[in-house]
A and B are shown apart, each in its own frame.
Chain A
C-alpha cells in the first residue's frame, strides 16, 4: 500500500511486527480451524495457555505447538486461570521451559470467576517477580490508569487494559479511561479483552492503542476464519485513521458542496 502514511513499526521486546493484531487460540472448534483463523488474521503473535497434560488421554493427538509452529509465530504463553501471584509465576517459568527459554509472557492474574476481572494487587506482585527474573512481561489489567502506570514502572514491556470483560464482546466500554492510560503511556498499550466485532477493534486503534489482542471475537463468530480477516482490516483501518487524525466533531452542519454557482 504505497499511499499509506509512514508508520513507526510495532515493536515489542526488541522485535518488530508487521501486524498489530494479536490473537488467542482458545474456544475454536478444532486445531484446524485455529490454524486457518490465525492465517486469515495475519497475526504474528499468538497466545497459548499452559495446562497439565491429561494423564493417559489422547496421547496421539497433535499438540497445539505442532500446529502453530513457534518458528513461524511468536508464541505468547498466558497465565489465564491463575488466581494468585505464585501460580502465575510458576506458570511463566513452566512456559519458559516449554518454549526453550522464551522470555515473552502474558501475565494475567484473575480475581473472580464470574467477571474474570484482574486482581491488580496480585498482578503487581507477580510482575515484580517476573521482571526481576528476566521475563518480558505483557500484562493484562483493568482500565485503571494508576495501576497501568504502576505496572509500567515495575518494568512490564506492555500494558494491556481490558476494553470489556473477557469473552463478553461488549466492545470498548470506557474509552475515556483508555484515553487517559494512552495519554501518559511510557510503554505500548494494547487493548486485551472486550472486542466483539471489527468496529470495536477499529475504535481501539483509533484511540491510539499500539495493537489489540482478541480471542472470542474471532473464535465465537459464526464464521471465525472470515471474522479473522475482518479483524485484520479493522486493525489497519483504525491505525490509519489514528495516524490521519479525525476531523473535529461539530454540532451544526457544514456543507461539503460549494455554496456558490447554485441555479436559482
Chain B
C-alpha cells in the first residue's frame, strides 16, 4: 500500500505517492529531460540534484520554462 502526500505544484494542490523525488515528479509531468527550472520552497534546485531531491508533504514547487515574451 502506498501512502500519498500533498504538495503545491505551480500554485495548485497536487497529490503524489510518498517517497518520490523531484525527478519522479518531472517524469510524471512529462517534463523529464526538458528545459525547465525548479524552485522548491523558494530555493532553486540545480538540475543535477533532481534525482537526489526527496519531496515532502506540504512542499511548494514551481516548475517554469521559457515562453514568448518581450
B41 within 8 A of A: no
Q: Given A59-B31, A65-B35, A215-B70, are A98 and B10 also a contact pair (CB < 8 Å)?
A: no
A63 touches B34 (CB 8 A): yes
Closest 9 CB pairs of A and B: A49-B69, A24-B70, A215-B70, A59-B30, A98-B37, A97-B37, A25-B68, A52-B10, A48-B66
CA distance A107 to B31 in the complex (A): 27
A49 touches B62 (CB 8 A): no
A94 touches B62 (CB 8 A): yes
Q: Across the interface, which residues of A come within 8 angstroms of B37, CB to CB?
A: 50, 94-95, 97-98
Q: In the complex, what residue of chain B is closest to A50 when comparing beta carbons?
A: B64
B63 touches A98 (CB 8 A): no
A65 touches B70 (CB 8 A): no
A34 within 8 A of B: yes
Q: Across the interface, which residues of B come within 8 angstroms of A59, CB to CB?
A: 29-31
A53 touches B68 (CB 8 A): no
B59 within 8 A of A: no
Q: Given A97-B37, A97-B47, are A53 and B14 also a contact pair (CB < 8 Å)?
A: no
Cβ proximity bits A13-47 to B, threshold 8 Å, 1 near / 0 not? 00000000000111110010010000000000001
A149 within 8 A of B: no
Which residues of B are in contact with A by a Cβ distance under 8 Å? 9-12, 14, 29-31, 34-39, 42, 44, 46-47, 62-70
CA distance A201 to B9 in the complex (A): 42
Chain A: number of interface residues, binned into ranges: 35 or more
Of A75-83, A180-188, A226-234, A243-251, the stretch lying at the interface with chain B is A75-83
Of the listed residues B14, B31, B65, B70, the one surrounded by the most CB atoms of chain A closer than 10 A to its CB is: B70
Q: Would you give the shortest CB distance from B59 to chain A, in whole angstroms?
A: 15
CA distance A134 to B25 in the complex (A): 31
Q: Given A59-B29, A98-B35, are A27 and B68 also a contact pair (CB < 8 Å)?
A: yes
CA distance A27 to B39 in the complex (A): 27
User: Can you offer 24 A-B residue contacts whose CB atoms are under 8 A?
Assistant: A24-B69, A25-B70, A26-B68, A26-B69, A26-B70, A27-B70, A47-B69, A48-B66, A48-B69, A49-B66, A52-B64, A53-B36, A53-B64, A56-B30, A60-B30, A63-B65, A66-B35, A77-B66, A94-B37, A94-B39, A95-B37, A97-B47, A98-B35, A98-B66
Q: Would you give the shortest CB distance from A170 to chain B, in whole angstroms?
A: 15
Q: Which A residues, 201 to 215, have Cβ-Cβ distances below 8 Å to chain B?
A: 213-215
B63 touches A53 (CB 8 A): yes
Cβ proximity bits A56-77 to B, threshold 8 Å, 1 near / 0 not? 1001100111100000000101
Q: Would you give the shortest CB distance from B52 to chain A, in whole angstroms?
A: 16
Q: Which A residues, 88 to 116, have Cβ-Cβ distances below 8 Å to chain B?
A: 90, 93-98
Q: Across the interface, which residues of B come within 8 angstroms of A93, CB to CB?
A: 39, 44
A90 touches B69 (CB 8 A): no
B66 touches A75 (CB 8 A): yes
Q: Across the interface, which residues of B come within 8 angstroms of A215, CB to CB?
A: 69-70
B66 touches A53 (CB 8 A): no
Q: Across the interface, which residues of A come within 8 angstroms of B9, CB to CB?
A: 55
